Copies of this chain bind each other. A is one copy, B any other.
Amino acid sequence: MERFSVRREGLAMPKQVDHRGRREAIARALWRVVERRGVTQLTMRVVAREAGMSLGQLQHYFASRTAMLSFAMDFASEQTSARVQQGLEKLGDRPHPRDVLRLTLAEMLPLHADARATSRMSAAYVLEALHDRAVHEQARRGLVQGRSLVEQLVRQAIVDGHIDSGRDPATETNLLLALTGFTSLIELDVIEPEDALAAIDVHLDRLFSVPQLRKGE
């Protein structure tokens, strides 16, 4: 019986993969609409046209605009994590926490096409969250999780002597996350991407500068 059920799953898989693949293609179409035309143009009809399908076909994959937006946001977060993960692999087996933070922050800013798409998706989602309780909860949960990962990293770096033990991990985490505030300055061409990265480096250098006295304790 069990083998039969496994076999059934096996047979069903190509269709499931296709379902997931279609949903991701729709999410990418949604990102393109957000990126090129803005969230105000984001209707199921417009996304269906961008994805090259009928409204009815789109509704087969997503029952509502919110469901579609919610999936597209989760997919954006996954893609950002995947980009960070790819970067981390290049840093070797035990990357320095400073490099991990720099990579993470850089991938959250609109510094290249993929990051710009997920960053704009994210900004649109925050605005949407202000007027939709379910979206608010999903966006909050995602950010709380991300914040908690950064705080763990900061705490470990303090334990390992990379960050001064006099620093408050919660406050340092909040200051690191606030650096995503460079997004609008970059998007509006107020500062250059290199200026944002230079400022992030200055901030990280200060965070990871342990006074010699303490280092020798």
Taking beta carbons and an 8 Å cutoff, which residues of A are in contact with B?
Answer: 35-40, 42, 120, 123-124, 126-131, 136, 139-140, 143-144, 147, 168, 170-171, 174-175, 177-185, 187-191, 195-196, 198-199, 202-203, 206
Contact B181 A198 (CB under 8 A): no
With A171-B198, A175-B199, A179-B181 known as contacts, the answer to whether A187 contacts B144 (CB < 8 A) is: no
Of B131, B136, B189, the contact of A140 (CB 8 Å cutoff):
B189
Cβ distance A42 to chain B, nearest Cβ, rounded Å: 7
Would you call A174 and B188 a contact (CB within 8 A)? no
Is B126 a contact of A123 with CB atoms below 8 Å? yes
7 contacts between A and B (CB under 8 A): A120-B130, A174-B191, A178-B179, A178-B182, A178-B196, A180-B181, A181-B182
In the complex, A198→B173 CA distance in Å?
12
- Chain B residues whose CB sits within 8 angstroms of the CB of A206 once the complex forms: 206
Bound: A203/B195 CA distance, A: 19
Contact check, A147 vs B181: say whether CB atoms are below 8 A apart: no
Q: How far is the CA of A199 from the CA of B126 in the complex (A)?
A: 22
Q: Who on chain B is nearest to A199 by CB?
A: B174
A9 and B122 alpha carbons, distance in the complex (Å): 50
**For A190, what are the chain B residues with a Cβ–Cβ distance below 8 Å?**
140, 143-144, 147
Given contacts A38-B127, A38-B128, A168-B202, 11 further A-B contacts (CB under 8 A): A39-B40, A123-B126, A127-B127, A130-B187, A140-B189, A140-B190, A143-B188, A174-B191, A174-B196, A178-B196, A178-B199
| Bound CA span A131–B177, Å | 26
| Closest B residue by C-beta to A180 | B181
A70 to chain B, nearest CB (A): 15
